[in-house]
């Protein structure tokens, strides 16, 4: 979810590509939803801390509790949401909001593409329903599941439902107490999602062969953050890692 967010989509996709292409195609079942939900609860609890921060920031930007909650329930993109409330003013800068959030969320195209070998076994309804609930955290869990040879096609949906549930609930809490907590960073809430991604990065580490895309992504992202405005460094880092992964695979 949030930009907060480092991405290892392309690098992980390379090592996981063979996961779904097994003799047993993925099946979509309630058991898969349940297993994905349970596996993601500990991570969703960490995401909830960031959801509280978003709720507080949304109220400070002038959104009501209902508006902040509706945004979390329908957008489910922490980075884009935090950036949106950061530039929120009246009249609402629609063009700036659309362009900025589009750029920040472009990485989801890469992340979704990395799951194609698995989703080609599912129906369009199952695929797009699962993708609606895809966030950085449950995408990482799903990639790990693929690499381990998992065949539960509903795993992404279940884990995404866990993220969605805790994210929305935390937004309500943060928006409710938004007038009380004046500086979320003072309590360390702003570091919660960073800590979550550090843990996820460890689970996605595939050994020395995955080191090159990581290094390239980090270098390009750091350079982009230094010389470019906005959040372009996120997209550039992801694209650079994708290019390295494709070149090495070929």
pLDDT digits (tens, 9 = 90+) for 24-74: 778 899 999 999 999 999 999 988 988 988 898 888 888 999 999 999 999
Which of the pair, 190 or 17, is modelled with greater confidence? Answer: 190
- Cβ atoms within 10 Å of 37's Cβ, excluding its own: 21
- The C-alpha atoms of residue 118 and residue 123 are separated, in whole angstroms, by 11
Residue 6 clears pLDDT 50, i.e. is over it: no
Cβ density class 107-144: b for 16+ within 10 Å, e for less: bbebbbebbebbbebbeeebbebbbebbbbbbbbbbbb
Residue 121 clears pLDDT 80, i.e. is over it: yes
How confident is the model at residue 249, as a pLDDT?
Answer: 64
- Cβ atoms within 10 Å of 10's Cβ, excluding its own: 25
% of the chain surpassing 70 pLDDT: 76
Sign (positive or negative) of CA dihedral 8, 13, 15, 16? positive
Q: What is the DSSP letter of 231?
A: T
- The C-alpha atoms of residue 146 and residue 15 are separated, in whole angstroms, by 10
Residue 80 clears pLDDT 70, i.e. is over it: yes
How confident is the model at residue 85, as a pLDDT?
Answer: 85
β-bridge partners, 27: 152
So where are the chain's domains? Answer: 27-192
Sign (positive or negative) of CA dihedral 74, 88, 137, 174? negative
Mean pLDDT of the chain, nearest integer = 79
Residue 221 clears pLDDT 80, i.e. is over it: yes
Q: For the whole model, what pTM was predicted?
A: 0.68
Residue 87 clears pLDDT 90, i.e. is over it: no
How confident is the model at residue 21, as a pLDDT?
Answer: 45
Query: Nearest Cα to 196, choosing from 55, 36, 43?
Result: 43
Alpha carbon 69 to its chain centroid, in Å, reads 18
- The C-alpha atoms of residue 127 and residue 106 are separated, in whole angstroms, by 18
Helix 9-16 to helix 232-249 angle (10° resolution) is 30
How confident is the model at residue 32, as a pLDDT?
Answer: 92
State residue 7 phi and psi, 5-degree precision: -125, 135
Question: pLDDT confidence of 150, banded at 50, 70, 90?
Answer: confident
Q: What is the DSSP letter of 185?
A: G
Which of the pair, 46 or 141, is modelled with greater confidence? Answer: 141
Helix intervals (H) in the chain = 9-16, 30-60, 65-75, 78-86, 94-105, 107-114, 116-119, 124-132, 136-147, 155-176, 192-204, 211-227, 232-249
**Among the listed ranges 43-52, 97-106, 195-204, 219-228, which one has the minimum average pLDDT value?**
195-204
Query: Nearest Cα to 112, choosing from 100, 128, 123?
Result: 128
Question: pLDDT confidence of 196, banded at 50, 70, 90?
Answer: low
How confident is the model at residue 36, as a pLDDT?
Answer: 95
């Amino acid at each position: 979810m949030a930009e907060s967010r480092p991405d290892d989509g392309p690098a992980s996709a390379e090592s996981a590509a063979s996961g779904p292409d097994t003799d047993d195609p993925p099946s979509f079942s309630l058991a898969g939803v349940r297993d994905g939900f349970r596996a993601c609860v500990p991570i969703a609890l960490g995401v909830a801390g960031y959801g509280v921060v978003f709720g507080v920031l949304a109220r400070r930007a002038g959104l009501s509790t209902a508006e902040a909650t509706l945004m979390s329930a329908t957008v489910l993109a922490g980075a884009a949401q935090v950036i949106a409330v950061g530039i929120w003013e009246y009249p609402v800068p629609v063009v700036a909001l659309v362009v900025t959030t589009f750029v920040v969320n472009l990485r989801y195209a890469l992340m979704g593409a990395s799951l194609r070998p698995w989703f080609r076994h599912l129906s369009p309804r199952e695929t797009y329903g699962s993708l609606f609930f895809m966030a950085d955290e449950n995408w990482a869990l799903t990639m790990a599941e693929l690499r381990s040879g998992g065949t539960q096609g509903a795993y992404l949906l279940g884990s995404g439902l866990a993220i969605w549930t805790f994210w929305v609930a935390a937004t309500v809490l943060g928006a409710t107490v938004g007038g009380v907590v004046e500086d979320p960073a003072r309590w360390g809430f702003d570091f919660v999602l960073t800590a979550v991604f550090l843990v996820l990065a460890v689970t996605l580490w595939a050994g020395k062969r995955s080191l090159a895309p990581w290094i390239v992504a980090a270098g390009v992202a750091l350079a982009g953050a230094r010389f470019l405005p906005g959040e372009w460094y996120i997209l550039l880092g992801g694209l650079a890692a994708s290019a390295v992964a494709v070149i090495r695979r070929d």
